[in-house]
A and B are shown apart, each in its own frame.
Chain A
């Protein structure tokens, strides 16, 4: 273990090994997200994720946000266990009828001010699951949505981009009050 830790100390971080344009985009985005978060909320934005019926694809990409390449925590974006600790509710999936109440209750457990981010194509309008007897539809049919991040599933870079857009909007609203 010592060898691994030592290597990690001396190796350049994965986030900066960015020869391809794809990775450069991540770095640019990273700086922008960092600035916006600090301006709006100091150094913290807590996210509570709820799967309201997704296929788990979006969850995999949200997980990826925490890996060393994207490392969202360096911007103060944190995934938290309790909605009581959250500023943002991130929802995936078409909302199934069996999950509707759980989603509503999670939303109401989050203190104000709060934002809702719907992630994935089915979170917009049910996607390919729309019209099923077991599906309510998009997230906005159950709770108010501030931002929608499209994709099936959206790659981690797009989810970061979406969070940036949300922060910008939140900052504008705050300055207009």
Chain B
């Protein structure tokens, strides 16, 4: 069996791509990689375009080896990966929408992010005028006696992000769910082209509001890899502190919100209070409740004072005091368990195929956690466990979150205890020649991938891949056979990002 290294040797390695190698390959190697993905030997981490090139990031899960393969497509055509490996489908539809590069043999050629509202087609490639009138979007058919459709969105009943869900149901049971996303597409990757590194970092922090720290972290690490910029130790540790605070706040909020979708408001009320206490501590310590724009290439902009340290410690003590009672409440409430156990089961084989990150993957037997598998600093120097379950139901996803709350508490303790002194930030220098960098950072939702090329201190191209890309399709699979009324519950237990996905 050829390794990823062999694939690299088949191609022409690109200089100045860090930390993992990138090689330009020909169509046969590209197709070979696609078939290896389909065989389940490798995992797809990302697939993105440039005006006449497509790139694919692949991981060999056992060896934790990562490579990027690139294929030039001057004729705007490349062999489809999605044809062999379904997780690539929406990514290839997106590449077509944005760049006008078409995947040969792609089984689904409907547009994805392009709703024919932009006034232009292929905005990041060779722009052409939009269609005068777009054909109506065809949802996949579900046929049979007694089937009916339920259309939901893009404006939902709650205070959440917009997206459209089309259910085909037989009585109460969901036969097929099809998602239609792209409503929050803001063209962030387009805005990044030509932006300074500073403003691109700000944009990265606004891809998905709940993961603003993780995105800024991933972008900064990618930029630092490209520029070979060394971050001072204190900066490295502060970043992990910020990332764990964000994870803690999100998990606390979501555990409550999932229970709320099973009409158990008590959990929600108590969890929201704990979440708020973490946000307030973050605000006092770092000057922003969501800790936006604190992580920048080179380090962090806001150092932690002794007072801030104390406030965070107090918030942690409060969570430690109150959270166990809530976990017990969840565990001992039979009517709530009745809703969550065996609901929205995600088959571990699918989680593996889609390389699902975060609690979605880890509740279905996939142990990947970028903090552990890729062990970027300071996580290589911290003790923590990666909880994994195999049941794959809503209940399992809640338990993974609960365990991760405990792990984050312990991680924050270790960080506050051992954080080194020194400057929190190094100044970034400028390099004229093009440099490429890539980073993968574990956000609360899963692994965020950022790839970029810098030239003259500006971003030439930056791609940001949200973990939701590989989780949204799995929600469609997990809801099948459940009742329509359990959809909010299943959806919240996945809590995929709309904005992170639509970009």
Residues of A within 8 A of B (CB): 1, 3-5, 14, 22, 49-64, 66-69, 79, 81-82, 93-94, 96-102, 106, 128-129, 131-135, 152-153, 155
Contact B191 A132 (CB under 8 A): yes
Apart from the given pairs A4-B325, A96-B183, 9 other A-B contacts in the complex at a CB distance below 8 Å: A4-B329, A52-B162, A55-B212, A63-B253, A66-B272, A102-B162, A133-B120, A134-B118, A155-B283
Contact B329 A133 (CB under 8 A): no
Q: What are 17 inter-chain pairs, A to B, with CB distance below 8 A?
A: A53-B185, A54-B499, A56-B161, A56-B209, A56-B497, A57-B210, A60-B253, A63-B159, A67-B272, A67-B273, A94-B186, A96-B186, A102-B155, A106-B155, A128-B199, A132-B186, A133-B190
- Tell me whether B70 is interfacial, beta carbon within 8 Å: no
Tell which of B182, B292, B329 touches A1, judged by Cβ atoms closer than 8 Å. B329
A153 to B210, CA, bound (A): 11
CB distance from B163 to the nearest CB of A (A): 10
Tell which of B154, B206, B289 touches A155, judged by Cβ atoms closer than 8 Å. B289
Contact B187 A53 (CB under 8 A): no
- Tell me whether B279 is interfacial, beta carbon within 8 Å: yes
* A49 proximity list for chain B (CB < 8 A): 159
- CB-CB contacts below 8 Å: B268-299 with A: 269-270, 272-273, 275-276, 279-280, 283, 289-290, 292
CB distance from A44 to the nearest CB of B (A): 18
Contact B183 A99 (CB under 8 A): yes
CB distance from B266 to the nearest CB of A (A): 7
Contact B332 A133 (CB under 8 A): no
* B188 proximity list for chain A (CB < 8 A): 129, 132
A58 to B160, CA, bound (A): 10
* B326 proximity list for chain A (CB < 8 A): 4
Contact A131 B275 (CB under 8 A): no
Contact A128 B206 (CB under 8 A): yes
- CB-CB contacts below 8 Å: B133-174 with A: 154-155, 157-162
* B118 proximity list for chain A (CB < 8 A): 97, 133-134
CB distance from A142 to the nearest CB of B (A): 13
Residues of B within 8 A of A (CB): 113, 115, 117-120, 123, 154-155, 157-162, 182-188, 190-191, 199, 202-203, 206-210, 212, 253, 266, 269-270, 272-273, 275-276, 279-280, 283, 289-290, 292, 325-326, 329, 332-333, 497-499
Best-buried of A61, A62, A67 by chain B (most CB within 10 Å): A67
Supposing A50-B155, A102-B162, A134-B187 touch, asked if A68 and B272 sit within 8 A by C-beta, the answer is yes
Contact A98 B290 (CB under 8 A): no
A101 to B326, CA, bound (A): 42
A97 to B113, CA, bound (A): 11
Supposing A98-B183, A133-B123 touch, asked if A60 and B290 sit within 8 A by C-beta, the answer is yes
When C-beta atoms are compared, the residue in chain A nearest to B290 turns out to be A57
Contact A56 B498 (CB under 8 A): yes
A112 to B80, CA, bound (A): 52
Contact B499 A131 (CB under 8 A): no
Contact B159 A55 (CB under 8 A): no
Contact A55 B185 (CB under 8 A): no
When C-beta atoms are compared, the residue in chain A nearest to B215 turns out to be A55
CB distance from B161 to the nearest CB of A (A): 5
5 nearest A-B pairs in the assembled complex, by CB-CB distance? A57-B209, A134-B187, A132-B187, A81-B157, A67-B272
* B283 proximity list for chain A (CB < 8 A): 155
CB distance from A92 to the nearest CB of B (A): 9
When C-beta atoms are compared, the residue in chain B nearest to A152 turns out to be B292
* B266 proximity list for chain A (CB < 8 A): 1, 4-5
Contact A98 B185 (CB under 8 A): yes
* B270 proximity list for chain A (CB < 8 A): 4
Contact B119 A97 (CB under 8 A): yes
Supposing A4-B325, A61-B289, A93-B184 touch, asked if A128 and B160 sit within 8 A by C-beta, the answer is no
A101 to B158, CA, bound (A): 19
Supposing A1-B329, A155-B289 touch, asked if A60 and B210 sit within 8 A by C-beta, the answer is yes
Tell which of A68, A79, A101, A153 touches B159, judged by Cβ atoms closer than 8 Å. A79
When C-beta atoms are compared, the residue in chain B nearest to A155 turns out to be B289
A5 to B329, CA, bound (A): 11
Contact A68 B269 (CB under 8 A): yes
* A66 proximity list for chain B (CB < 8 A): 272
A110 to B14, CA, bound (A): 56
Best-buried of B186, B202, B289 by chain A (most CB within 10 Å): B186
A51 to B161, CA, bound (A): 6
Contact B499 A98 (CB under 8 A): no
CB distance from A127 to the nearest CB of B (A): 8
Contact A129 B325 (CB under 8 A): no
CB distance from B258 to the nearest CB of A (A): 14
CB distance from B444 to the nearest CB of A (A): 12
* A98 proximity list for chain B (CB < 8 A): 113, 115, 117, 182-185
A17 to B118, CA, bound (A): 50
* A79 proximity list for chain B (CB < 8 A): 159
Contact A129 B191 (CB under 8 A): yes
* B184 proximity list for chain A (CB < 8 A): 51, 53-54, 93, 96, 98-99
A128 to B209, CA, bound (A): 14
A63 to B208, CA, bound (A): 16
CB distance from B294 to the nearest CB of A (A): 13
* A97 proximity list for chain B (CB < 8 A): 115, 117-119
When C-beta atoms are compared, the residue in chain B nearest to A23 turns out to be B280
Tell which of B119, B185, B273, B289 touches A68, judged by Cβ atoms closer than 8 Å. B273
When C-beta atoms are compared, the residue in chain B nearest to A79 turns out to be B159
Contact B190 A134 (CB under 8 A): yes
Best-buried of B115, B159, B185, B275 by chain A (most CB within 10 Å): B159
CB distance from A47 to the nearest CB of B (A): 9
* A53 proximity list for chain B (CB < 8 A): 162, 183-186, 499
A177 to B203, CA, bound (A): 45
* B160 proximity list for chain A (CB < 8 A): 51, 59
Contact B206 A57 (CB under 8 A): yes
CB distance from B76 to the nearest CB of A (A): 19
CB distance from B393 to the nearest CB of A (A): 22
A54 to B160, CA, bound (A): 10
* B209 proximity list for chain A (CB < 8 A): 54-60, 153
CB distance from B252 to the nearest CB of A (A): 11
